[in-house]
Every structure is written in C-alpha cells, then in structure tokens.
Amino acid sequence: MIPHIKDKADLDSKIAEAGGKLVVLDFNAVWCGPCKMIGPKLEELALENTDVVILKQVAASERQSATYIVNQVNAAIVLYRVSQIIAY
C-alpha cells in the first residue's frame, strides 16, 4: 500500500528518507474521479518498482492542497530526487 502523507513535515521526512531514489508524489482528492482511476495503477507501479518511492497526499479540500504545490487537485503528480522537485 502506498504511504499517505499526513502534512508538510511528513512529506519532507519521507523525501529525505528516500535519499537518491526517485520520489513520485500523487496529489489527489476524495471527490476526484481521475484520481480514483489512477490509484490502482500507482499501487501496481509501487510493487513493480522498488527503486522508486511512491507517496500519496489526499486532500479533503482545495485549501489543504494549497499547503503543498498544487492549487487545484485533479490527479497531479510531482517528482522529486534528492529533496528537489524535478518535474510536475
């Protein structure tokens, strides 16, 4: 199961723990249809790619999603390597 991020401190900690591994952060929301569709595929990818850290941040509101990077949540994904954003 993909770990769920609780808050910004939890995210920072998980990214630091990943070291040089690629980190895929999936932003999604309980009301987002596309988010629900991509979830099972990310679970599958997490099992197949142990050299990649996949994390999930579920927003209960758009305000909560603004705490991170995205302003609107609809299946947004951010990639990190060595604690730096490399793509989103």
User: CA 78, CA 53: separation in Å to the nearest integer?
Assistant: 12
Q: Is the pLDDT of residue 20 over 70?
A: yes
Domain boundaries, the chain: 8-87
Q: Which residues participate in catalysis according to the annotation?
A: 32, 35
Answer yes or no: are the C-beta atoms of 25 and 75 closer than 8 Å: no
Tens-place pLDDT, residues 22-36? 999 888 877 778 888
User: CA 46, CA 54: separation in Å to the nearest integer?
Assistant: 6
pTM tops 0.85: no
What is 8-87's CATH topology? Glutaredoxin (3.40.30)
Position 84 scores a pLDDT of 82
Residues in the chain: 88
